[in-house]
């Protein structure tokens, strides 16, 4: 019996240090940078351990946002619609929705909107 390779989506999967893709590494570094602001604040208050913990938590949140996809849970309407999409894409779409006055424009293929 021969071996067969199963096709899979490998778009954007250049791995760095085994667990990081390029996108997840960028999100992790940016989130850790935000956590560093809290580290400096807590280090001025002589609470460096708390500051380090906050940096680690922010870095973990950045890694999760950059790596994982939204699970598809049948009980919740939100996850039915967004299940399987990247979490960062969902967050970016939500920010755009809020900033554009909560309007969504939908193009329906096959409909003719001309009033002839």
Q: For 30-57, how does the pLDDT look when each residue is reduced to its tens digit (9 = 90+)?
A: 999 999 999 999 999 999 999 999 999 9
What confidence tens digit (pLDDT) does each residue in 47-88 have? 999 999 999 999 999 998 888 888 777 777 777 777 778 888
Q: 47 with 22, same domain? A: yes
Which has more pLDDT, 22 or 79? Answer: 22
Domain that holds residue 95: 72-108
The residue with tokens 């970016």 is 92
- What's the confidence (pLDDT) of residue 73? 77
- What's the confidence (pLDDT) of residue 116? 45
How many domains are contained in the chain? 2
Q: 57 with 24, same domain? A: yes
> Quick check: 115 pLDDT over 60?
no
- Residue 84 gets the label, from left (phi > 0), alpha (psi -120 to 50) or beta, of left
Q: 76 with 52, same domain? A: no
| 17 occurs within a structural domain | yes
């Amino acid at each position: 019996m021969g071996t067969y390779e199963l096709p899979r989506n490998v778009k954007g999967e250049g791995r760095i240090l085994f667990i990081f893709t390029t996108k997840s590494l960028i999100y992790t570094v940016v989130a850790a940078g935000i956590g560093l602001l809290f580290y400096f604040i807590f280090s001025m208050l002589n609470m460096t351990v708390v500051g380090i913990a906050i940096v680690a938590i922010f870095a973990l949140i950045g890694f999760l946002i950059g790596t994982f996809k939204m699970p598809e849970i049948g009980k919740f309407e939100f996850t039915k619609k967004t299940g399987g999409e990247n979490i960062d894409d969902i967050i970016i779409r939500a920010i755009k929705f809020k900033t554009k006055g909560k309007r969504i424009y939908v193009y329906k293929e096959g409909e003719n909107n001309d009033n002839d």
